[in-house]
Chain A
Amino acid sequence: MTLTQAPVHIETVDLAVSTVRELNQALHATDDGTSWVVDTPAGQHNIAVGIDRDLDLVVNGHVGYYFAGMHQKGRVTVHGSAGVGLAENIMSGTVHVTGDASQAAAATGQGGLVIIDGNTGARCGISMKGVDIVVGGDIGHASAFMAQAGRLVVCGDAGEGLGDSIYEARIYVKGTVASLGADCVEKPLRPEHLAELAELLTLAGRTDAPTDFRRYGSARTLYHFAAVNAAAY
């Protein structure tokens, strides 16, 4: 007897026909384990925000602001580029963009994994609180500003002011860093860091060698107000 897997039913939504509201309502109401394909996103904002179902979603095309905002569960892939605030405040799950992402990608993310194969704009990982971010290309200025927790992996170059006022997040950059922000310093790449970096690169489907990266984090000199630090603010 041969066991054959039942065909997976895929819900297809064309945003040239349906509205973002209709799509989001359906994604909020669907069951765990469902699969979705969204066509013709046409850069619309707020697509697939607030997903709390363990689903698979593929979007064919570019998306606007706050795609997958506050994402909680499931795996989401965009075959295209994303606007401002990609996966902002993501809680868990995975959001993958094959193109570029604009400013504030994964801003304030509390958990989960955000993968951007291309480049991101400014403020990537701003105020990140536990999210892991892997960027295949470059990131813009003021990235990881006030980053509190989580890991930011950059396979290209980082812009100016990286990790300004950073707390306990860890940053790995393969390319150059234009400049470090206040209280952000280079730190040694110890075995435990190489291990977590290797794991993140594998999760992102990348083949970069962990030993090619440098690690950055907080010098922790601004954790308490002090007059001597006035020039740093």
Chain B
Amino acid sequence: MTNSYASRGLRESATFDRATINDIQRAATTGIYDIRGWGAKRALPHFDDLLFLGASVSRYPLEGYREKCGTDVTLGGRHALKPITLDIPITIAGMSFGALSANAKEALGRGATEAGTSTTTGDGGMTPEERGQSRHLVYQYLPSRYGMNPDDLRKADAIEIVLGQGAKPGGGGMLLGQKITERVAGMRTLPVGIDQRSACRHPDWTGPDDLAIKIAELREITDWHTPIYVKVGASRPYYDTALAVKSGADVVVLDGMQGGTAATQQVFIENVGIPILAAIGPAVAALQELGVHRQVQLIVSGGIRNGADVAKAIALGADAVSIGTAALIALGDNDPRYQAEYEALGSSAGFYDDFQDGKDPAGISTQDPILAARLDPIAGGKRIANYLRVLTLEAQTIARACGKSHLHHLEPEDLVALTVEAAAMAGVPLAGTSWIPGR
């Protein structure tokens, strides 16, 4: 297509490309900014810019299918009396009932449970379907406190205090009126059908000193049983991680700018925060300097797609990863079989990101009962479990090739970078050299 334009002597502006022109025209027509789902879509330095150094003479590999490569991870042992142990270091990220259908939430719970990992609530409280189908359920504690209650807090296997997310560090949530059904509104104590705005700051604390008291309060309410995570959107990962540790967190969750959202201003998604590749190193450095690396676990997210991404994140120092967008795709999001319906919505399979509209043909990001019924939570759970297994097997394949008997034995020395940018951000040498820019 591009070539045909070129052959006709037509030149597209790199600055004002067709998407940009469309953005300007849309803004001029509507007078309001664009809100959409998904995460950053711009090209960013990512895990694709890293490669593993498989074993050869200097290191020897482990035998695939014969020699064990462990995948388990224990989270929350720093202070909690009941840390949780997962079979695999790949968790399901927080996504709200409201943003997602009840069937989608149930499917995520079923799949996570089958694969031996955890799933997470979201900005809308805990549903019985999700709790019932999730062996390990992380309960998010958000600024809005929608549906927050101590009974659910005590039912949770871990509590995640959310300070931000990668798609919008510093921003609050939104859920547009078409998804505020009677059930969603009831759980959030809001009028049906309004455009809901969630706060960006917690209502009863500001700063790390207060956070330490807040964490202590949640521990007191749960009699110190429950692990407490602190989730931040990646922007200043070194300081945020250090302050979370100082405040008493058991686990730090770090979400890069590729991390998904159900509804955020596009300008926010694409221009605030940093890629997860650039965020892991500073976070790990903070943990190491405080002497708590691997004692305070680090979960990273934002653009995890395959087992190589899992292995690379862990090699850089993470203890586990979280998936959100990839999990929705595994459930059926952007499935080509709904192409005609995506076209009718002005989109296309592979491009659909209007999660805010509640018209998702795949029945995932919707509260429409007819659309939601398209997603069978049992079949969806199987798909999630399958996908999680593939991620795990792929990560194990790479770890064995690097001679590691556990995923957590992967280390930065197993990695090189393909680009100068990735080498600098990840803190690993440019391939074929010993050069780490900035060191």
Interface residues of A (CB under 8 A from B): 20-21, 24-25, 28, 45-46, 49-50, 52, 64-66, 69-70, 72, 84-85, 88-89, 91, 103-104, 107-108, 110, 123, 126-127, 129-130, 145-146, 148-149, 165, 167-168, 223-227
Beyond contacts A46-B220, A50-B222: 12 other A-B pairs, Cβ-Cβ < 8 A, are A24-B220, A66-B204, A69-B221, A70-B153, A107-B203, A107-B204, A110-B149, A126-B204, A127-B144, A146-B199, A148-B188, A226-B32
B210 interface contact, C-beta 8 A: yes
Residues A148 and B190 in contact, CB atoms below 8 Å apart: yes
Number of interface residues of B (CB under 8 A): 34
Residues B189 and A149 in contact, CB atoms below 8 Å apart: yes
Instruction: Give the nearest-CB partner of A72 in chain B.
Output: B150
- A46 and B309 CA atoms in complex are apart in Å by 41
Q: How far is the CB of B402 from chain A (nearest CB, A)?
A: 45
Q: Per-residue CB proximity of B215-238 to A under 8 Å, as 1/0?
A: 011001111100000000000000
- A-B residue pairs in contact (CB < 8 Å), sample of 17: A20-B220, A21-B220, A24-B220, A28-B223, A49-B217, A84-B205, A85-B205, A103-B204, A104-B204, A126-B203, A130-B189, A146-B197, A165-B197, A223-B194, A223-B195, A225-B32, A225-B195
Q: How far is the CB of B164 from chain A (nearest CB, A)?
A: 18
A residues less than 8 Å from B191 (CB atoms): 167-168, 223
- A127 and B148 CA atoms in complex are apart in Å by 12
If A70-B153, A126-B203, A167-B191 touch, does A49 touch B148 (CB 8 Å cutoff)? no
Residues A50 and B221 in contact, CB atoms below 8 Å apart: yes
Q: How far is the CB of B24 from chain A (nearest CB, A)?
A: 16
Q: Nearest 5 CB-CB pairs, A to B?
A: A50-B221, A227-B31, A85-B204, A104-B204, A108-B145
Residues B150 and A70 in contact, CB atoms below 8 Å apart: yes
B213 interface contact, C-beta 8 A: yes
Residues B223 and A25 in contact, CB atoms below 8 Å apart: yes
Q: How far is the CB of B123 from chain A (nearest CB, A)?
A: 13
B13 interface contact, C-beta 8 A: no
A residues less than 8 Å from B205 (CB atoms): 84-85, 104
Instruction: Give the nearest-CB partner of B172 in chain A.
Output: A146
B177 interface contact, C-beta 8 A: yes
B58 interface contact, C-beta 8 A: no
Number of A-B contacts (CB under 8 A): 103
- A45 and B194 CA atoms in complex are apart in Å by 37
If A70-B149, A167-B190, A226-B32 touch, does A46 touch B213 (CB 8 Å cutoff)? yes
If A66-B204, A146-B199 touch, does A50 touch B213 (CB 8 Å cutoff)? no
A contact patch SS: loop
Instruction: Give the nearest-CB partner of A233 in chain B.
Output: B197
B residues less than 8 Å from A110 (CB atoms): 148-149, 189
Residues B149 and A91 in contact, CB atoms below 8 Å apart: yes
B30 interface contact, C-beta 8 A: yes
Q: How far is the CB of B210 from chain A (nearest CB, A)?
A: 7
Residues A69 and B199 in contact, CB atoms below 8 Å apart: no
- A83 and B85 CA atoms in complex are apart in Å by 37
A residues less than 8 Å from B144 (CB atoms): 127
**Residue of A24, A64, A123, A227 touching B203 (CB-CB under 8 A):** A123
B214 interface contact, C-beta 8 A: yes
Residues B145 and A129 in contact, CB atoms below 8 Å apart: yes
- A224 and B144 CA atoms in complex are apart in Å by 18
B residues less than 8 Å from A72 (CB atoms): 150-151
Residues B30 and A227 in contact, CB atoms below 8 Å apart: yes
- A127 and B201 CA atoms in complex are apart in Å by 11
B 173-203 contacts with A by CB, 8 A: 176-177, 188-191, 194-195, 197, 199, 203
B 142-156 contacts with A by CB, 8 A: 144-145, 148-151, 153
Residues A50 and B150 in contact, CB atoms below 8 Å apart: yes
- A167 and B199 CA atoms in complex are apart in Å by 13
Residues A65 and B213 in contact, CB atoms below 8 Å apart: yes
Q: How far is the CB of A53 from chain B (nearest CB, A)?
A: 12
- A75 and B210 CA atoms in complex are apart in Å by 26
- A21 and B217 CA atoms in complex are apart in Å by 10
Q: How far is the CB of B48 from chain A (nearest CB, A)?
A: 36
- A98 and B190 CA atoms in complex are apart in Å by 32
Residues B199 and A127 in contact, CB atoms below 8 Å apart: yes
A residues less than 8 Å from B188 (CB atoms): 148
- A88 and B145 CA atoms in complex are apart in Å by 10
- A72 and B203 CA atoms in complex are apart in Å by 20
- A25 and B199 CA atoms in complex are apart in Å by 32
A residues less than 8 Å from B32 (CB atoms): 225-227
Instruction: Give the nearest-CB partner of B143 in chain A.
Output: A127
